[in-house]
Structure 1
Amino acid sequence: MTRRLLPMTAMTRRPLPMTAMVRRLLPTTERARLTALYGGLLLLAGGVLAGVIYALVQDDLDARFGRAVTPVPRGPRMNPDEVPPGSVRGDEYTVVPANEVGEAARTRTVAALTATTLSRLLTVSGVALGVFAVLSLFLAWWMAGRVLRPVGVITATARKLSGENLHQRIDLKGPPGELKALADTFDQMLGRLEQLVTAQQRFAANAAHELRTPLAVQRAAAEIGLADADPERVAWIRAELIKAADSSERLIESLLLLAATDQGVQRREDVEMNETVAVVTAGFSDEARERAITVTTTVEPLRVPGDPVLLAHLVRNLVANAVAYNHQGGRVRVQLTGRVLRVSNTGPEIPADTVHRLFEPFRRLNERTHTAGEGAGLGLSIVASIARAHGAEATADANPDGGLSVSVRFP
């Protein structure tokens, strides 16, 4: 007698627990879940309605049949002239008005008529409820698809997004509602992401260009200097190398400062902004005097919680820009009133539609000429970043007579 050996997997297989079986039977998609929910609610409402109708009809039939009809057992045949008015003849009995028969026959007839009517009502209600169940599931499936269609559009758009097609939008058409608001919010988020990615790409390209320029100068100066050992040429090459190194160092420091301020303020302490503004502005007196620029300072006491070094950088960049981008014999006005720091200067006229772009990294009013003392275009970007780190807001306005007015409003 041979025995059949079962595989190890079959011997060790155990029946699934009840929770796992129930979990497998549950709907796996949101549309199926909504269909089950809507269909179940509609079916429950139909069942409750059928039950209520059955109960009301049952009570009403007992009352109506009890008042109107009474059964009479089969007896001798009655002549047509002997049947009372309003009587109804049957095969086994004759139904006559209630005041003509006894109470016992009346009760049996009412019970028989009520049972027959309720049985018919129950059969019709069951068939109608079954048809209603099928129809409700179909309507629930269709309605769930209509409700979830915007979600599918959002999901499909999100799957197709990449750094190259952030310009795509959902642009959902339809009446106002929660899903329409969700799609519009998603479109707004895509717009902000597109701006951030574009700004990051432009920042990386500009940073690479700004760093490549001094390196090219250093390389050219070194090659020229090595080709000729004349002391005067060597001294000139040395000065050019130092100048290019200083420019690279300032650019790198500005980039590091911009990255540090974007991460927020690491330490906070009470800073007397009126003292900081006065001291920093006084540091530009010599440069302003050389260009015959008049600097006017008006300060009021103001204490701001924040990083004193970063706040000093903020004031320094504002005053430095106001002095650098000014004309001979111009004016610079520094005001600290209320909780607003405002720095205004005279200078070239600035188109109003380009003012907001000056806060972008490496953004200048004119193309860079690589002259001595020219900045990298990060001054106002650092100002805006430091202001955000301290919960402040930096704005700029073009002056009607030329120049720029930059305001930083502290919270």
Structure 2
Amino acid sequence: MISLRSGTVGARFTILFAVVFLAFAVVLLGLTFLLSAGDTTSVAPAGNAPVQGGLDPARQRVLHLEEQLATVHAQQARRLLAGSLGALLVMAAVAPLLGRVLARRVLRPLRLITSVTRRISAESLDRRLAVTGPDDEVKDLADTIDGLLERLEGSFDAQRRFVANASHELRTPLATMRASLDVAVAKPGPDASTVALADRLRTQLDRVDHLLDGLLVLARAQHGALADAAPVDLAELVGAALGERSAGVRTKALSVTVDLPPGTAAQGSPALLARLVDNVVDNAVAHNERDGWIRITGHARGAEVALVVETGGRVLDQARVDRLVRPFERLGGERTGSSGLGLSIVAAVAAAHGGRVALLARPEGGLRVSVALPVAMPGARPDADVPVPA
């Protein structure tokens, strides 16, 4: 039984309406029956009065009529009571239905607001509810949500512009430091300590440059800039990504299996999709164990094409795996060897294309990364000149 303190607003409104409606019906029918009963008892039955033998025929006739009238009133009272009970039962059945109809009609604007709000995400903050109608509480709520979305959109845009601008501006001092190192090492007779220091600094500069490149890609993907959308062959991207990491595959003695039919194409930005595939493959190679394995499969189903990359390894915690799509998140919180942007870029690129990413910690150990993307338009030719990031 749903109480007024639990359940949905519609259910509570229905119960409240039904209870109030039935209470008024009971009061109204009770008053009607009491008034009718009062009229009935005002006439005394003739059978209770002693009959005098010397009464004239007219007096006897009057008493007989009063007795008949009392009988008729008693029958009418019984019929009124039966009719009132029947009407009350009908009202008890109709009141919840009528309350449900009224509740749905009253709450319909709220359901529309909820439905539209659920479809608004960080990639579609430019959408608004734009509720029209009288200036009531519902419109006031919708206008408040629109104002909140406007402020959120401004904050997200400012954050993305800051990341993109800061990443771009930092490239200049990085290039200057790299050039200064090259000049210092190129001088005649550099000592061994200078060369060793320069090598260590170059390694750190490469990591910072890779981090800035990741931030730029992440900012672009979160903006959803897909003006260059075209069919992209995922099999070619996977082959290029594996080719670039062939040294890492040989060093770890990894067994790689690829089951991706040629022509498995997705519709999207060639540069962003290339970075997506590159990051997924790089994650599978870099975070694999020696003598491990990688299995890459894909298929097209309906309006989506799926790319699945599985790896073996130790058993992972699903709660930690779910956080890997956030920027700078790493398993175990380690800060070495990875920028922490790889899978977050994958998730951002997939979302910008209207797709999704699912991470699963395999019960046997290892990780399963599944990326769903919109399939290439029928009749379109996959782009063969897809830029692959270095």
TM-score, L = length of structure 2: 0.47
Larger CA Rg, structure 1 vs 2:
1
TM-score, L = length of structure 1: 0.45
Relative contact order, CA 8 A, sep 6+: which one is greater? 2
